Amino acid sequence: MQKVIYKDLGRIPYREAWDLQQGLHNEAIQRKRENRERKERGEELLPIGHHLLLCEHPPVMTLGRSGSEEHLLLDEAGLQAKGIEFFKINRGGDITYHGPGQIVGYPIFDLDEFFTDVHRYVRYLEEAVIRTLADYGITDAYRIKEYTGVWLPQKGWLPKRKICAIGVHLSRWVTMHGFAFNVNTDLGYFRHIVPCGINDKDKDVTSLANELGHTMDEHEVKEKLRQHLAELFGFEFA
């Protein structure tokens, strides 16, 4: 069974978390190279360094490599006035918001040690959030074929609502970036972007607190979420 090192980074600036991810990602790729050479020499292999980082960020907008800057509805002055950072990054997907009250997950996994299937990997991230929502009585969360992430269905006057965004990057089957799960998130920030580039009138964003009508214990939610990830991927925490 694979072992994963878990770190709760708390609230951390986006740039700092991105640099940490990149460092761990590079280390994992270098370890793969070294292990190939060790295997050829018949030497003992180095342990695989899988990591799961959970955190939240001060307000920040991030734009994926396939996204459009037109989906950011604030200019530089507007971003500064509201205290929001902006980064163009190398994950998939379009623009999204990260901020306080949101659980952001960055798995740095070597999928060669699990399965080499990007579609399955993303489905497992979604499924972990779906199972966490079910723990709180929200049993109708689902996927929309055209989009990644986790959604809640249209209900009465409420449109379809995205509660978790996903955008990943892989190199040599080592993952980085990940998911953003709205728990106690201030949803007003999403009005400054076209979330994930989706401008459909029948779709919106939501949070766990918004759906249940009260503030959530984020530590409790994190614990449930990380255990579901361990069950789905079949790993244990180091």
**Catalytic (active site) residue 164:** no
Rg (the chain; Cα; Å): 18
Catalytic residue among 111, 168, 196, 225: 196
Using DSSP, state whether 95 is helix, strand or coil: strand
How far is 40 from 35, CA to CA, in rounded Å? 9
Contact present, 132 and 224 (Cβ < 8 Å): yes
To the nearest 10 degrees (0 to 180), the angle between helices 218-233 and 118-135 is 140
Tokens standing for residue 86: 């902006």
Q: How far apart are CA 179 and CA 230, in angstroms?
A: 15
Specify burial of residue 77 (Cβ count, 10 A radius: 0-12, 13-18, 19+): exposed
Neighbours of 217 (CB within 10 A): 10
Dist. CA 212–CA 89, nearest whole Å: 33
Q: Which residue, 156, 155, 129, 112, is CA-closest to 224?
A: 129
What are the residue numbers of the active site? Answer: 196
